[in-house]
Structure 1
């Protein structure tokens, strides 16, 4: 048994080096521990998540069932059932006290420690519960300017057995040395997920994928054909002067959340936010009928904005409108910027033309303006496309026929 578990330490480190997904290596680890003669029946592994919306993630393995993964929202209310359940859990007890581990027999009449979840474990035939925490980052609060930032990262793990008499001391003595390599492996997995989540959140899904695949040299770029979408909020300057800062942020987040969902649900990639504006692309190579898809997204955005304004007005919140431009052409897509600060974005005449088209929305009194480079291919399927005439735009070589949606 001891030799098999010693080999597990090396195996765990190898899983970390190979970036094996956490749910996969955890399942294999538990199987190997059982094969070595320690009957694990239920294991739960959790850690903090570096994600704008997700505060923590947990992985649960059961010997007689499939592995599960749980995500816990950052916006979960302290008064919610989820938080109340956590406060009544053994893990909360573990994290709230200066202890590194805890264990409790579940098959004794008067346990020293008892929690509601122990009743569930007893009903499943568990005889002992063991939990531990290990830190892989601890920072001195004095060196952190923002007191709301986390000062530590940790792994918590709980194990339950249905072995008669619970875990033996010898079995736990063999398992404890594996917690540090488990922590290291989890850190490797978490760091990869953190890189994927953070770059996707701040750069967009496609740009994130390209950067993490090695497209990181300054000046490196690809020429792609795309539908370019420029979007901004109407009257934002006036609103930002009237509203307090937190209300401005709330308004931006509310409308941008809707806009991003529409673009991404239609296969587009949001590249950046610029004040009250947003830039996105629909790759003509990767999205069949990308022009039609982009026009559909514009229609959906108009409908979503109407519903959002109705909801906000009913709640007594400020509302606003939007302007949107669609154009198609070849763009340079890649890394642009300084030596220490880069942006992964699109540039080129087609991008500049899209910005000029957006600027025409006010003069044309239309919140959606579409160039003929997009409209020509979809007009047969969109009888609601209406020509607004031809215009010469500043910095654009040729006159463009512009359209809107009736």
Structure 2
């Protein structure tokens, strides 16, 4: 196979990791095949807030690990494909010279051993930086179980590093893999990365992220969000992602490509792939993203998250609306006098609209809520919780 044919498969297989863009309903923000058919291009948001396109791919897809949610796990029946670091670096250099990209998201199945695979990822980044003088964005996936030495090497060349935590705690993690060790392969590397990227450290510039596989075990939303809050508070994680597990993931193939075969997995909880079950799993993922925004951007604490009696977020209402309806004593808030931190707790209002309200009331008096000039749908959602 030539390089382009390999990348067509490897970039397709990279779809199972969402750590460079969260799920969205906007089709303009979905992945796209490149015009040359050389792989998938993923939208991201640049540091300045503008849109950009990132090439996302694996170096290899034949994994030695046994992660039960992953169609690339060992003992699966599909054609193994891999690229050498020089091959990947050369292709990306040529590709981005024809179509400017903001960067490369590079991951891999575990090819032999974690450190061997991590060395290949690092070699690719090093060639891009030193040989091709590439100064753009490089996101490297840290392989679970990688040594501190290989993590240090990745930090030299990467703009961002991510290592998937996968599950909230060792008990749930053990249901996903019989090979990987939660403490040694996940928590210790995550803690080490945090120590090397902390404020004031040499690699402070490197962005960090991680991802939960939601529903692959029987974990509760309250467990996921507890770990989420701890990762932000204690490890100063830059961003967390949530990927809904769905049975059958990876069993679709593109024209001319060999099909990935994923056998039935009775040991996993069946979220299904169609109908109400699939919709519930995706709605659950969406609610976790909403709760994550409350923790990161809206000043909420984990202790303020409200769960149902089973320990999960409501699927019918977003978590901020649930909180607002459960705290009527907090409302209504005055749009003329309430501080920014308080207005962020109003359903429908995010940082952009709250900033607009604060700016408008400084330059002109507000006589009615319509003076806020908010979109109709936003104003109607916020109206019960505001007063002039």
Shorter-chain TM-score range? under 0.3
Higher strand fraction (1 or 2): 1
Under a length normalisation based on structure 2, what TM-score does the superposition of the two structures give?
Answer: 0.25
Q: Which has the higher contact order (CA 8 A, sep 6+)?
A: 1
